Amino acid sequence: MTGFPRKAGFPPGVTVDVFAAAFEASPTPMVVTDPRRPDNPIIWSNAAFLTLTGYDRDELYGHNCRLLQGPLTDRATLDALRATTAQGGAFECELMNYRKDGTPFWNGMTISPVRDAAGEILYFFSAQADMTDKHRLEAALRDANGDLEREVGERTADLRAALAQKTALLHEVDHRVKNNLQVIASLMLLKARRTPVGEAREAVQAMADRIGALSTVHRMLYSAGDAAHFDLEAFTGELVADLTAGLAPDGPRVEIAAERLALPAAMAAPLALLLHELATNAVRHAFPGPEVRAGRVRVSARRCPEGMDLAVEDDGIGLAAAAACPDGFGRTLVAMVVRQLRGTLHWSDAGPGTRADIRIPLAGDRAP
Amino acid sequence: MSQVIAGTESGLRILVVEDEVMIALELECLLEDLGHVSIGVAGCSADAIALGRSTAPDVAFVDIHLTDGPTGIEVARALSADPRITVLFMTANAKRIPPDFAGALGVIDKPYSERTVANALDYVLRRRAGQAPQAESLDGLCLAPRVIG
């Protein structure tokens, strides 16, 4: 033996017995092996190591540490340990080891060579710690995480299924509403066709047209993908197109000046009825026959500070002349719908023609 | 079954596949008003396919929901296999139409207006005459993707 490195020398007054006593009393399990003897046997261990492993000193001394290994000890970690220590390196790992009574435990260890002054490896020193509780906690955490993920997955699947069911139900209801509107419109039109030309037939036809306006609202509300809003500009376009489709080419022209306004769906049906009534009234009654009269009807809709301004104006026969026409239902309907929308209605002479101004408040969440 | 109803000079011979009697009857009246000829109404898929094969109409209006279920798709596929028949879906359930439209030319959403039906048939007439109609004339008729592409 050539002696140990000088820097490891003891301070004055401290003897090797102090360290022997300190190591023996340490709660950290420790072991020393001698690689220069055959099979690198254990030559020393402290009391904590005996407690950890369950062996007595005489059962350990002279034996290789592999007596702690068992079926679940990781071979790859052992190979790495051997390779590193063979080259004189230090190694840290956690290995599954077995006590004398066969119970396994997770052994967290550091292994380091002890060299002499010349650098020759004389011993290997290893300190251990029982990591079983840590591994148990990790496993419990993994299980808990797994459970949580499974639970979240199940809940998400439940919610998806509920949403799919709700969507399917909405489609079904939407389909039924549209189909029923079509049946109602068809019924009215069939009756109109079988009614002799005259007042009764016109009344039934007018009802069919009103249902048509409501149908247009439904078609546009649910096909645009956004069932909560209603585009007044697009709706006015459709409505006027339907209205003018049946007119003589040299009859009144209908102009639209509607701003893009996304209105709440709840306002869609009353607004549709209102616009339909006003526009139809203008086209049908402002330019009475018998000969076809050219003319102009203008439908406008725009935002205003209070909400929305609607106006329907024609250059036809005017209020005074139209008042003689006893077709009161359209006007009554307009007044009722304006009241429902909490709006104001004002009829005026447009000189020539008639003008209806409607202001509808849009407050709070009803604002466009 | 093989009685052949001739179309008028400019009118189309049309098969109505629709399970709602009121809608079918009114649609037939409308078609006549527009100068076309209804060659019959079928309420279920079997009748629709049989009637289509025996009469080879110019146009078939096909609802998706029929008395035997959502079989309108199947009807469209069977009828459009005959190149003489132009199939148009007419439904409140357009979301059920497959991406290839089952061979149909397009779809008219219910509730439809008379104007939409008139425009759609105009479009079919002009297509048959070899004219390529303007996109803006397709008011209310939604074409199958392959027709646009």
pLDDT tens-digit series, residues B58-97: 999 999 999 999 999 999 999 999 999 999 999 988 888 9
| Chain B residues near residue A204 by CB distance under 8 angstroms | none
The answer to whether the CB atoms of B92 and A223 lie below 8 A apart is no
Give the residue-averaged pLDDT of A333-362. Answer: 90
The answer to whether the CB atoms of B111 and A212 lie below 8 A apart is yes
Among A183, A223, A242, select the one facing B115 at the smallest CB separation. A242
B43-60 per-position pLDDT tens digit = 999 999 999 999 999 999
| Chain A residues near residue B30 by CB distance under 8 angstroms | 189
Nearest chain A CA: its distance from B99 CA (Å): 17
Mutate which of B19, B113, B138 to disrupt the A interface (most A C-beta within 10 Å)?
A: B113
Task: Judge whether A344 is closer than 8 Å to chain B, CB to CB.
Answer: no
Nearest chain B CA: its distance from A279 CA (Å): 17
**pLDDT score recorded for residue A79:** 94
Q: Scanning every residue of chain A, which has its alpha carbon at the shortest distance from the alpha carbon of B93? A: A175
Query: Where are the domains positioned within chain A?
Result: 16-130, 229-368
* Residue A160's pLDDT band (cuts 50, 70, 90): very high
**pLDDT score recorded for residue A28:** 94
**Phi-psi category of residue A364: left, alpha or beta, with phi > 0 → left and psi -120 to 50 → alpha:** left
Q: Scanning every residue of chain B, which has its alpha carbon at the shortest distance from the alpha carbon of A213? A: B113
The answer to whether the CB atoms of B139 and A241 lie below 8 A apart is yes
Among A176, A183, A241, select the one facing B23 at the smallest CB separation. A183
- Which one is predicted more confidently, A26 or A329? A26
**pLDDT score recorded for residue B137:** 57
A81-92 per-position pLDDT tens digit = 999 999 999 999
Peptide bond into A352 cis (omega under 30): yes
Among B25, B94, B115, select the one facing A241 at the smallest CB separation. B115
| Chain B residues near residue A225 by CB distance under 8 angstroms | none
Q: What is the pTM of this model?
A: 0.67
Task: Judge whether B23 is closer than 8 Å to chain A, CB to CB.
Answer: yes
In chain A, % of residues over pLDDT 70: 91
For the domain bounded by A229-368, which CATH number is listed? Answer: 3.30.565.10
Task: Judge whether A246 is closer than 8 Å to chain B, CB to CB.
Answer: yes
Residues in CB range of A254: below 8 A, 6 or more apart: A240, A243, A244, A279, A283, A296, A297, A298, A299
CB atoms within 10 A of CB A126: 22
The answer to whether the CB atoms of B111 and A175 lie below 8 A apart is no
A282-304 per-position pLDDT tens digit = 887 777 766 666 788 899 998 88
Among A175, A187, A242, select the one facing B92 at the smallest CB separation. A175
Q: Scanning every residue of chain B, which has its alpha carbon at the shortest distance from the alpha carbon of A182? A: B111
Among A178, A189, A242, select the one facing B110 at the smallest CB separation. A178
| Chain A residues near residue B112 by CB distance under 8 angstroms | 182
Residues in CB range of A159: below 8 A, 6 or more apart: none
* Residue A274's pLDDT band (cuts 50, 70, 90): very high
A358, two tokens: 């409607």
| Chain B residues near residue A223 by CB distance under 8 angstroms | 94, 109
Task: Judge whether A33 is closer than 8 Å to chain B, CB to CB.
Answer: no
* Residue A281's pLDDT band (cuts 50, 70, 90): confident
The answer to whether the CB atoms of A186 and B114 lie below 8 A apart is no
In chain B, % of residues over pLDDT 90: 65
* Residue A225's pLDDT band (cuts 50, 70, 90): low
The answer to whether the CB atoms of A175 and B65 lie below 8 A apart is yes
| Chain B residues near residue A219 by CB distance under 8 angstroms | 109-111
Q: Which CATH class is domain A16-130?
A: alpha beta
Task: Judge whether B27 is closer than 8 Å to chain A, CB to CB.
Answer: yes
A93-140 per-position pLDDT tens digit = 999 999 999 999 999 999 999 999 898 999 999 999 999 999 999 999
Q: What is the mean pLDDT of chain A?
A: 87
Nearest chain B CA: its distance from A236 CA (Å): 14
**pLDDT score recorded for residue B149:** 64
**pLDDT score recorded for residue B1:** 40
ipTM of the complex: 0.80
Q: Scanning every residue of chain A, which has its alpha carbon at the shortest distance from the alpha carbon of B142? A: A223
* Residue A195's pLDDT band (cuts 50, 70, 90): very high
The answer to whether the CB atoms of B92 and A179 lie below 8 A apart is yes
Nearest chain A CA: its distance from B17 CA (Å): 15
Among A178, A190, A241, select the one facing B26 at the smallest CB separation. A190
What is the Cα–Cα distance from A21 to A2, expressed in whole angstroms?
25
Name the CATH superfamily for B13-148. Response regulator (3.40.50.2300)
For B:71-130, CB contacts with A below 8 A are 92-95, 109-115, 118
**pLDDT score recorded for residue A366:** 45
**pLDDT score recorded for residue B3:** 45
